Structure 1
Amino acid sequence: MTQLLYGEDPEPSEPFPAGPLYVPVRPGPSGCTTRLFRTPLGHRTAVAFTSERTLVATLGSGQAWIRLAEPALRALTAPLGVTTVTLDPQFAAPAAAPAGVLAVRQPVPALRPAERGCPA
């Protein structure tokens, strides 16, 4: 076994996934806006998927997305104080209503199948 010098931890062999990721977006005033989510502990996180299939399985076929490399996603979300990127989350749930407030679900217009990206 190799001895670690200077108390440093070894680097992982592949710290980032290869290639662009599928990043969920929503229309914003200036074009596409990256959707941010919350971890189970309530911290904000950017979410990305390694395939369109996993994005659709988690968020549905109506979810708009763009392709971004992981460093570009981090650069977009860092000014917002978001430092975590969650890859291929297995579960997505709607936000819970605050205590004592009755939540009323509003229909969300779905994108047509041809509109996979964010409308211009």
Structure 2
Amino acid sequence: MAELRYGDDPEPSDRFPAGPLYVPVRPGTSGCAARLFRTPLGERTAVGFTSPRRLTATLGPGQPWIRLAEPALRALTAPLGIATVTVDPQFTAPAPAPVAPVTHEIPALRTA
């Protein structure tokens, strides 16, 4: 049995390519832009899914996507200061409901 030398054993925090991902995008006039999200702690992250089924289950059937390799997604978001890629996120918050505008006036305070 070969003995592993220091440096041969990968660290758990080492990044390994996740393979081709289905990346949610926002279509625009100049093409598509990758949608960016936030982690539960508020850190910005790029998101990719390993299948269209997982993307649809999380973001809905109307979400446009493109296919990108994980290193390409990292290279795309690195100039924006985003170092994290989240693969197959499962929990999302529902979209906030629109707030109706206030139509009544607040009465003025009377001074004595």
The normalised TM-score by structure 1 is: 0.69
Cα distance per residue 1:67-99 (max 9 Å; x no partner): 000011001100000000000000111466xxx
Equivalenced residue count is: 95
> Partner of 1:67 in structure 2?
67
Q: Among all aligned residue pairs of Structure 1 and Structure 2, give the percentage whose two residues are the same amino acid.
A: 69
> Partner of 1:28 in structure 2?
28
Deviation, structure 1 residue 3: 6.3
Give every structure 1 segment of 4 or more consecutive aligned residues whose post-TM-superposition deviation is greater than 3 Å: none
Q: Which runs of 5+ in 1 are unaligned?
A: 97-102, 106-120
Matches of 2:76 and 2:68, distance apart in 1: 10
> Partner of 2:37 in structure 1?
37
Residue from 104, 109, 119 that aligns with 2:98: 104
Q: Which runs of 5+ in 2 are unaligned?
A: 100-112
Secondary structure of the structure 2 residue equivalent to 1:104 = coil
In the alignment, residue 39 of structure 2 is paired with which amino acid?
T
Residues 9 and 95 (structure 1), Cα distance of their counterparts in 2 relative to 1, 3 Å cut: farther
Secondary structure of the structure 2 residue equivalent to 1:93 = coil
Matches of 2:78 and 2:9, distance apart in 1: 25
Secondary structure of the structure 2 residue equivalent to 1:55 = helix
The normalised TM-score by structure 2 is: 0.73
Matches of 2:4 and 2:24, distance apart in 1: 43
